[in-house]
Structures are given as C-alpha cells and as structure tokens.
C-alpha cells in the first residue's frame, strides 16, 4: 500500500500530458529534464537551510513535478535508455539527501526558538539514511531480476508530505510542525525498508 493511491498518480500524469507533448515537440531530452529537476531540489535544500521554508517547499514541489516529466517524456518519445534510468535514479538520491540536509542546517543554525533541536537533527539523519536505503533496496532487488515497488513511502510521498506543509505553514511554532513531518517521513521510510525486506524474503522463499 502507498500513501498516494495509483488513481491519483494516473490523474496527475494525465493532467500533465500536454506539457509532456510540448517538451517532446521542443526536442527537450529526458536527461535535461532530470538535470533541471535536480537543480530545483538543490535550490530547495538551500532555501530550507537558509530558513526560507515556504520557498523551499514550493521549489521541492516543482522539482517533484519535473521529476515525473522526465520519465513520461522518455516513454512517450521512445527515448528510454539504460543510462537515462541510471542518471535519473542517481540524481534522485542526491535530491533526497540534500532536502533533509537543508532542514538539518536550518534546525542547527536558526536563531528562532526550536523545540527538541538536537533530537530533530538526529531524526533528519535517520530520514536521510532510511530514504537512501528505500531506494537502494529497490535497485538491488531489480538487479536480481525482482520488481520491488512495495512500501508506504516512496519519493513522491516524501516530496508531497514535506513540500505542501512547508509551503502552507513553514516550520510552525517552535518548528514543531517541521519536526513532526520529518519524524513522520523518517518513520515511514523505515517502515518501507522493512516492507521491502519482507517482500523480497517472501518472493525468494528465504533462499
């Protein structure tokens, strides 16, 4: 089970199909879109670190939209390549780490009153590691010829779950809203890692 249902994903992709067609007509390559998406998420991480959380949330959401377009363009234009898949997956991991690093920098350096500052920074570290393991577990399973997309929190859930609240309320009083979101995403990522371990163990018969 995923936090974002499949029908919602399909409706989202259908809504952006005109943009996909426009990019194809303009000759924009999927790897170029991937690069732009990564630059946006790095800019988002910078904004988080600088304490401009609403702008960070906005850029994060835009980067998520761009991230869906590269694969859609590649499939629609028959430009799917092994290097493109590698490039996209690798830069996604850069984005995952950068986002939570930016939040950790904000919590560490802000002069605003912050509740649970040190524990929250440690939770950011857990979020970084767990989000990377979520992706690695899928990649390693696929390297063994297994499809492994199970889990409640994949990249889309992390982007939406962090981006929308940041855009709407920023950090919240004493940064409690931001801390709660990061803790929830870290927990969801840990659960997803466990789900993928259990799934791969089950389909391989524990061998």
Burial 69-91 (b: 16+ CB within 10 A, else e): bbbbbbeebeeeeeebeebbeeb
Strands (E), the chain: none
Catalytic residue among 70, 88, 92, 96: 92
Radius of gyration (C-alpha) of the chain in whole angstroms: 18
Distance CA 70, CA 30 (A): 5
What element of type H or E holds 192? helix 176-203
Q: Is 96 marked active-site?
A: no
Report the catalytic residues. 92
């Amino acid at each position: 089970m995923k936090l974002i249902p499949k029908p919602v994903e399909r409706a989202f992709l259908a809504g952006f199909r005109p943009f996909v067609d426009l990019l194809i007509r303009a000759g924009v390559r999927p790897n170029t879109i991937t690069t732009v998406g990564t630059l946006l998420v790095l800019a988002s991480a910078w904004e988080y670190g600088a304490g401009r959380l609403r702008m960070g949330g906005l850029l994060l959401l835009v980067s998520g939209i761009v991230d869906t377009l590269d694969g859609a363009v590649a499939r629609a234009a028959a430009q799917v390549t092994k290097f493109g898949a590698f490039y996209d997956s690798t830069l996604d991991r850069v984005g995952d780490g950068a986002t939570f690093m930016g939040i950790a920098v904000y919590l560490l350096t802000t002069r605003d009153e912050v509740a649970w500052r040190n524990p929250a920074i440690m939770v950011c570290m857990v979020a970084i590691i767990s989000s990377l393991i979520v992706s690695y577990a899928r990649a390693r399973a696929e390297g063994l010829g297994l499809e492994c997309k199970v889990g409640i929190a994949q990249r889309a859930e992390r982007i939406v779950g962090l981006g929308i609240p940041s855009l709407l309320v920023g950090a919240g009083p004493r940064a409690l809203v931001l801390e709660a979101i990061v803790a929830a995403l870290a927990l969801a990522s840990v659960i997803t890692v466990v789900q993928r371990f259990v799934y791969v163990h089950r389909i391989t018969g524990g061998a």
